[in-house]
Structure 1
Amino acid sequence: MAASPLPRIPHFVIFPFMAQGHTIPLIYLARLLRRRSAAITIFTTAANSPPIRATLRGVDGVSVVELPFPENIDGVPPGVENVDKLPSLSSFFPFVKSTKLMQNSFEQALETLDPPVSCIVSDVFLDWTLRSARRFGVPRLCFYVTGQFSFTMYQIFLRERPHAAVDSLDEPFPVPGFPHLTLTRNDSEPPFNDTEPSAGPFMAMVFEHMESVRMSQGVVVNSFYEMEKRYVDHWNENIGPKAYCLGPLCLAAAAAPPPLPEKPGYIRFLDEKLELGEPVLYVAFGSQGELSKEQFEEIAKGLEQSEVSFLWVLRTAAAAANSGLDLEEFDSVEFEERVRGRGVVVKEWVDQVRVLRHGGVGGFLSHAGWNSFMESICGGVPVIAMPFVADQHLNARFVVEEAGAGLRVWPRGGSVRGLVMAEEVERKVRELMMGGEEGAEVRRKVAEYRDAAWHAMEEGGSSMLTLDLLIHEMGTIEIAKT
């Protein structure tokens, strides 16, 4: 009697978009899939490979394949292979478009994989990978860097255009399917908030992305079902393809941060404040936000006037330079001297996950990037949302008004966009950090979400059960080769 064939090992190909915020969650996903004994191959470029390999150090069974990044692309400086290093956001469109030139080398590499690829997980900006998946007859899962709420709103804007009935960017409009919810056009970016989006290459790219989502076999969501249940259910029942909540993916990192050979100064500062019982406000606005000199100065003035201890990470030097801001000029000796003893300014990379899980941190003044919000929730740290670009305004709506997990600073003049004054920064920082009634309620909600998030990522939790379901379903889907 012939022996039964051994079950085929699932082999997931993961292809992140070349930006730190897009890459890190998918590296965490690779860790999760390895825990289920799947073979993993991560595709990237030579310049993006070193930090990926460093993050995966100690993880067996994950291969990293480097593809050549296209050269001589108009609008993309030579040698730049990551969005975080682009000179300005105006280079974003040609950068995304240029990735299409990687398709041939990607498919040639897929031919060599052993065991053969069984599923491709790729970023929404890499829509062309759907065609590659079909040529190999395997399912493709799409990854979008924001949460389910924002992704659902973008789809509703494109499909049903509820904002077309209002002329003003700040006039509220109801959202179909969600009678409790009103938004404004300023809560999203063009072309999503255009009342009559014009034809053009950028709009064509957006529709290509959305069509590739629709034709994929699922969407990987860096969130957990208990927090976004309403929007996951709406997506699965009315939009699709199926959303798989597998997060918070940051909890798939090592169980405990590796010991540091030497504590950096910012950790020593947090340790000292923890011993004194003085909670610290962590302040960071991501790597791509373009803040004006005037806005930097208002934030600094508000922090100084708040009399709250803070750790401010200025890792946006490139974006600041694009705005005409000299960080050396802004971060003057006078400012540091005035806040000495309670305020620390850092101009280098910090381990944000480590900071947000430090017991000395009591709040997070943030740009409302989704990864940062997930990391904050997992650390039990409430957010003060100060959005600037991209999905950040929708994320802020969700964090503050839907989840109740944060406060929001508002610009002057009644719009959701514009200059936030120092007095507003001071007021919200004091409310959160000094025991205000609103701040206390936010802390209670964040504690609930923290517990739910950690439970979701435990064996038997919602995200781990969804991971098992995803692996099973991707192994049963038959895709005709094209």
Structure 2
Amino acid sequence: MKSPGELGSGARPHVMFIPSAGMGHLLPFLRVIAALARHDDVDVSVVTVLPTVSAAEADHLAGLFAAFPRVRRADLHLLPFDASEFPGHDPFLLRWEALRRSAHLLRPLIACGAAPRVSAIVTDVTLASHVIPISKELNVQCHVHFISCATMLSLLAKAELGPGVGDVDIPGVRRIPESYLPQPLRDLNNVFTKQFIDNGREIINADGILVNTFDALEPAALAALRDGKVVPGFPPVNAIGPLDSHTASTANAKQSEPAGSPVAWLGEQPARSVVYVAFGNRSAVSRDQLRQIAAGLEASGCRFLWVLKTTTVDKDDNTEVEDVLGCGFLERVRGRGLVTKAWVDQEALLKHPAVGLFLSHSGWNSVVEAAAAGMPLLAWPRGGDQRVNAMVVASGGFGVWMEHWSWDGEDRLVTGEEIREKVKEVMSDAAVRVRAMKTGEEAAKAVAEGGTSYRSMQEFIGKLRAT
């Protein structure tokens, strides 16, 4: 009998994807899955962790299986997990810990739970320290999908955090000030920090790393990782971004939009006149800060489309917009401002000709989507890896990073006047707009046939076929 990693002559490789929780992790994962599922000579299966944390996760997984009937589904039911061990922690972070504690259940799924036998695994980075050893036991290739930027990957690769942490020097990349690090990394007893260090130490044993970036966006970080300057002998890094959405094309989506929807509303606005405002799918901004954002947008005089989020998990969000933003706000901005709490196709919105600026938390998916769309970005990091991502935005010149604006855990409110002033300034900055357009052109070249990301994806597929 052949081991899981051995293929017979002419057999197609079977790749099992193991995603994690949170739309910021799941969305890019789904895009890689879709890219591979379009190849008829590759079998694909997806481990579906149940129950999902958010409604958006469940909806997007269902959409993937509907769009690609050939993709197999392998359900993984988590073991009971006592969240009271970690009071006050982010629910998505708790899901990562629950996943790690149930990771041994993946072994039978990989070894004998799928047909044809699994020949390669693509795991989310949050599970790397548990999945890579399992793959090695079973003689199965294991590639890690890293959902942040290559600069953040270089920080993970170092995995040398200690008491006091301090600034981190990354050879060949740059020095990252302590204040830019994800907040939990300043506490060595934090569960995220322990996960981060474990994954960073194990990732050296992966067969490869997939990153949703492109060479022109992060040339120094990618070169340093590939040349062994960060860590000698680091696995091959495949920059495969910007990843395309697995959903219908923007043009088709636009045709099917009902009246009053965000895309339909944008269709009624002048070119490059709208500020698109969104702080990610799990960044719950305080009520006081939301009202200051509202005041700033109103005072700016600019048209705006605001995707409002008031809770970390969408299932918990049952407040009314008027209650959050104050009585009379929606009436005062009627006609030039639209506020929605619905899920939107952000990729389509950023490519819409009416949008002229993206006010964002600078989550990595948002940064890459803005870069691909040639959209100027006003970066307001809220937590996690977002200050590191904002460094990439600022160094690339396709956006502006407000370094002194507060993020989670800091008391200072950014005032409506500050927001008004900066929104108006960046909206009228022709130089930033030109640089953003050039970044979009570089992104298009990267994924076009023969481009850097196109070649990286082909190299990855070639490794799968060689198993």
C-alpha displacement of 1:262? 2.3
C-alpha separation between the residues in 1 aligned to 2:396 and 2:352? 23
Q: With structure 1 as the length reference, what TM-score do the two structures score?
A: 0.83
Q: Count residues in correspondence.
A: 445
Counterpart mapping for 1:52-67 below 5 A: 52-67=61-76
Residue aligning to 1:408: 401
Task: Find the counterpart in structure 2 of residue 348 from structure 1.
Answer: 342
Q: Corresponding residue for 2:44?
A: 40
Asked whether the equivalents of residues 378 and 453 of structure 1 are also in contact (C-alpha less than 8 Å), the reply is yes
Q: CA deviation at 1:365?
A: 0.3
What residue is the counterpart of 2:425 in the other structure?
A: 431
Deviation at 1:74, TM superposition (A): 2.6
Query: Aligned to 1:41, what secondary structure does the other structure show?
Result: strand
Q: How far apart in 1 are the matches of 2:205 and 2:342? A: 41
Kindly indicate whether the alpha-carbon contact (under 8 Å) linking 1:162 and 1:176 is maintained by their aligned counterparts in 2. Answer: no
Where does 1:124-139 land on structure 2 (aligned, <5 Å)?
A: 124-127=125-128, 128-139=130-141
The answer on whether the counterparts of 2:34 and 2:246 sit within 8 Å (CA) in structure 1 is: yes
Cα distance in 2 between the residues matched to 1:208 and 1:354: 37
CA distance in 2, matches of 1:413, 1:345: 23
Aligned to 1:455: 445
Supply the distance in 2 between the matched residues of 1:470 and 1:25 (Cα, whole angstroms): 16
| Contact 1:123/1:142, CA 8 A, preserved across alignment | yes
Q: Quick one: which amino acid aligns to residue 132 of structure 2?
A: L
- Secondary structure of 2:182's counterpart equals coil
Moved more, 119-128 or 417-426: 417-426
Residue 55 of structure 2 corresponds to none
Aligned to 1:81: none
Q: Is the 8 A contact 2:306 2:340 kept in 1?
A: yes
Equivalent residues in 2 for 1:56-455 (5 A)?
Answer: 56-75=65-84, 89-110=89-110, 111-127=112-128, 128-156=130-158, 158-159=159-160, 175-177=169-171, 181=174, 183-192=176-185, 194=186, 198=188, 202-237=192-227, 238=229, 239=231, 240-250=234-244, 254-256=248-250, 257-258=252-253, 259-260=255-256, 262-274=258-270, 277=271, 279-318=273-312, 328-400=322-394, 402-411=395-404, 418-433=412-427, 435=428, 439-455=429-445
Q: CA deviation at 1:20?
A: 1.1
* Counterpart secondary structure, 1:225: coil
Task: Call closer, same or farther: CA 1:244–1:151 in 2, change over 3 Å.
Answer: same
Task: For residue 50 of structure 1, report the CA deviation from its aligned partner.
Answer: 4.5
Aligned partners of 1:53 and 1:64 also within 8 Å: no
Q: Are the aligned partners of 2:296 and 2:420 in contact in 1 as well (CA < 8 Å)?
A: yes
Tell me, yes or no, if the aligned pair for 2:49 and 2:78 is still in contact at 8 Å: yes
CA-based RMSD: 3.2
Secondary structure of the 1:159 match is: coil
2:5 — aligned with what? none
Task: Give the CA deviation at 1:57.
Answer: 2.9
Residue matched to 1:468: 458
| Amino acid in the other structure paired with 1:129 | V
Distance change >3 Å, CA 398–CA 11, structure 1 → 2: same
Q: Distance in 1 between matches of 2:278 and 2:272?
A: 19
5+ unaligned residues in a row in structure 1: which ranges? 78-86, 167-172, 478-482
TM-score, normalisation: structure 2: 0.85
- Percent of aligned pairs with the same residue? 26
Any conservation in 1 of the 2:172–2:221 contact (CA below 8 Å)? Answer: no
- Note closer, same or farther for the CA distance 1:22–1:262 as it changes in structure 2 (3 Å cut): same
Q: Is the 8 A contact 1:76 1:94 kept in 2?
A: no
What letter is aligned with 1:406? G
Which consecutive unaligned segments of at least 5 residues does structure 2 have?
Answer: 1-7, 53-57
